[in-house]
Amino acid sequence: MKRSDLILDLQAAIGRSWVLHAPEDLLVYEYDGTIDRGLPEAVVLPEDAKGVATAVRIARKHHVPVTARGAGTGLSGGAIPCEGGVVIVTTRMNRIVELDSENRIAIVEPGVINLDISRAAAPHGLYYAPDPSSQKACSIGGNVAENAGGPHCLRYGTTTNHVLGLEIVTADGQVLWLGGKTADTPGYDLTGVIVGSEGTLAIVTKVIVRLLHKPEATITLLGIFDAVTQASRAVSAIIGKGMVPAALEMMDKNTMDAVEPFVHAGYPPDAGAVLLIEVEGLKEDAQEQADAVASICRELEAREIRIGLSQEDRDRLWAGRKGALGALGRLAPSYYILDGVIPRTLLPTVLDGVYEACERFGFRVANVFHAGDGNLHPNVMFDERVPGATQKVLDLGEEIMRLCVDAGGSITGEHGVGYEKRNYMSWIFSEDDLEVMSRLKAAFGASERFNPGKVFPTSKGCGEVSSRMRAAIAKVGADAYV
């Protein structure tokens, strides 16, 4: 069947204004927060689940795959239509359908921006806990697809721990509810497997999220260290004492060099690393935790500990942390964002290994990451115009992923496998493990209909992505987050 027929069918069903097909319109939808590219044949913007289901059925009739897209801030190419087909954009589905403050739940459409949930819940003293750095821009549908994390997931858990139920559209265009508002719902926990399935099993059209009460007290500490090694020892020691702060973030000197002139957050220019730590709870508890954290930092030779910060100070520090990746653009024309996880006791040694490898390869690296979770984000700076640099940086990335896996960790903590890391999957999963995962895909009847080319290892290339560009190399810009 011809592409023009596909477009006509979509227009007839969804409305002419909500189907994009001109080349200049499609270009906007060929990329996300990574630099992978894949041009769709058509883009549709349905306004509800019924529209999504219709678009899915039409794509099926025309034998083209469907890729769902939220705000496009993803960092593993999740929203890129590797094999063309139809991109379903959820931006029009941006209603908060229900906010039940008494039961602390909200039902939201997938296009709702993460932070807008907390804003809507704030008058009730509630908020939505997972806080990816991109929370001002990213949508909840994308968060569900990637099981997004964020600094405060250390204590409160990632997206999966806050999603109670989902309305989905299946590959055959059926609209179904999974899970529900109550604590227990009978049957297999299909909600739990859709979260983090990277858009390969179903398209989410509504999300039931859990809201939390705002804690009584929050204390922010800034631990300033001369060297990364000391800071990472402090992280291991804090966790080792059984303390789980709300957030425990590390930024190294290279990161602060980029952030400070840009955000004026108050990060010391000459420190080797800082820990941005937040403890929460009853005021008695928060104070006790803050004292204990401060004393561990002191024992581990923190040069200075800032505590008792004003609200403005705290906001600036967090603005610096959450805007760090964008700020890195000041230091190099391109950078490669990595996402790996290690057991927290191994933080000092693995970080040493990361710096050593970067030096050996001849690249500058900025580390800004969720230290308390052991979730590393080395950002390798390079210049893609230099011949051979891209391949070299990819090789370095692979070596760093190896360090994580050898330490007993994982190849992704919150960005997803996507296209970039699918061939690393076999480092942590056996053929049998992957075969069992593929059974789930078969049960959903999804085969290659939804977001083909993602998650599972394959030798096939992604659409128009050339081998030179095959990784998630972010263009410099203030709209990238880690």
Site of tokens 């559209």: 169
Q: How many residues bind other proteins (CB under 8 A)?
A: 86
66 neighbors 85 (Cβ within 8 angstroms): yes
Question: From the list 92, 115, 136, 215, which residue makes contact with other proteins (rule: CB under 8 A)?
Answer: 215
35 contact partners, CB below 8 Å, separation of at least 6: 469, 471, 472, 473, 474, 475
Q: Which of 382, 13, 455, 476 is nearest to 197 (CA)?
A: 455
CA–CA distances in Å: residue 173 to residues 169, 232, 446? 6, 49, 11
5 binding other proteins? (CB under 8 A): no
Restricted to residues 179-208, the positions that interact with other proteins (CB under 8 A) are 180-193, 195-197, 201
Q: In this complex, which beta carbon is closest to other proteins, that of residue 176 or of residue 319? A: 176
Q: In this complex, which beta carbon is closest to other proteins, that of residue 160 or of residue 254? A: 160
Restricted to residues 355-384, the positions that interact with other proteins (CB under 8 A) are 370, 373-375
Give least dist CB 180 to other proteins, A: 8
68 neighbors 145 (Cβ within 8 angstroms): yes
97 binding other proteins? (CB under 8 A): no
411 binding other proteins? (CB under 8 A): yes
414 binding other proteins? (CB under 8 A): yes
229 binding other proteins? (CB under 8 A): no
288 binding other proteins? (CB under 8 A): yes
380 neighbors 482 (Cβ within 8 angstroms): no
Question: From the list 24, 270, 312, 432, which residue makes contact with other proteins (rule: CB under 8 A)?
Answer: 432
444 binding other proteins? (CB under 8 A): yes
**Binding string to other proteins for residues 105 to 134, with x set by CB under 8 A, is what?**
--------------------x---------
Q: In this complex, which beta carbon is closest to other proteins, that of residue 62 or of residue 377? A: 377
CA–CA distances in Å: residue 456 to residues 98, 312, 420, 422? 36, 45, 11, 5
387 contact partners, CB below 8 Å, separation of at least 6: none
Question: From the list 320, 416, 453, 463, which residue makes contact with other proteins (rule: CB under 8 A)?
Answer: 416
Read off the DSSP letter of residue 471: S
Give least dist CB 74 to other proteins, A: 12
The number of beta carbons lying within 10 Å of the beta carbon of residue 440 is 15
